[in-house]
Amino acid sequence: MHSSNRKQLNHHQLDILRLLARFRFGTTALFTQSTGTTSRRYIHERLRILTEQEYIGKRYDSSYKLLGKPAAYHLLPKGIDALKTDNVYDTKLLKLLAKDSNASDRFIRHCLSVLAASVQLSGLYGTEHTQLQFRTRSDYAGNELFPQALPDGYAFTENAKTKERTHYFVECFDGTMPDSVMRKTITKHVDWYDNDNWTTEALYPTVLLLCRDERLKAKVDKWVTKILDDAWSDDVQFKTLLPK
């Protein structure tokens, strides 16, 4: 079954399935940006075929149209089966992917925020000699070095000439969580470091906090200042950003 799926899919279509396995949800615009495709029309056609052949599902109804929201795509069982021969996805993740058809709007929004963050950070930190690599919770599930609960994203840049790496944790504050959860997310990183859970000699990654708007960014900046003032050390660095 897996081999027949492979024959039906080209590498462009498989790239979309792999993105969905990592980010859970995506839109035409975000797929276009994240794959470096020159035309949204090509992505739209690939999504149409994958949807018609039931590799992926499409979340879109009249409310989306009224709100000007784009369709959100996710994996279906046939698409999950097509990826099993990659041998990089654990059983727990595959079971979670199978539930995405019933995901809440809040969860979908957050997944799209993480994918958008990966696109934005690639443009912000990637250069001619330095490429940004972005990882999601799906990529590092079970990692015990990273703070718990796991960050929304982990990214690093590597200079092509010197091989020097700069590391980042990424958290998306996109209006899908209350203030208390956002403050706890900031504290999580400080406590993880102060309690000696960061058990490597590498510097703790800079924590990038992507805030929904200017108002939230100002609030988050104050939280960060207060939390760091109360911390044992000031070795954890935070940076707040606005979405593009």
Residue 79 C-alpha from the chain's centroid = 19
Residue 208 C-alpha from the chain's centroid = 13
Rounded CA Rg of the chain: 19
pLDDT for residue 141: 87
DSSP character string of 29-85: HHHHHHHT-S-HHHHHHHHHHHHHTTSEEEE--HHHHHHTPPPEEEE-HHHHHHHGG
With residue 225 as reference, give the H or E element that holds it: helix 214-229
* pTM of the shown model: 0.92
**Cα–Cα distance between 73 and 17 in angstroms, integer?**
10
pLDDT for residue 4: 46
pLDDT for residue 156: 95
pLDDT for residue 130: 81
Query: So where are the chain's domains?
Result: 2-103, 111-241
Spell out the residues 6+ positions from residue 72 whose beta carbon is closer than 8 angstroms to its own: 25, 26, 27, 58, 59, 60, 108, 112
> Going by CATH, does the domain composed of 2-103 fall within 1.10.10.10?
yes
pLDDT, tens digit only, all 244 positions of the chain: 444 444 579 999 999 999 999 999 999 999 999 988 888 999 999 999 999 999 999 999 888 888 889 999 999 999 999 998 888 888 888 999 999 999 999 999 999 999 999 999 999 998 777 889 999 999 998 899 999 999 999 999 988 888 888 999 999 999 999 999 999 999 999 999 999 999 998 899 999 999 999 999 999 999 999 999 999 988 999 999 999 8
CB distance 9 to 17 below 8 Å: yes
**Cα–Cα distance between 50 and 46 in angstroms, integer?**
6
Cis amide linkage into residue 155, ω under 30° from 0: no
Residue where the block lists tokens 């070795």 = 235
pLDDT for residue 3: 44
CB distance 16 to 47 below 8 Å: yes
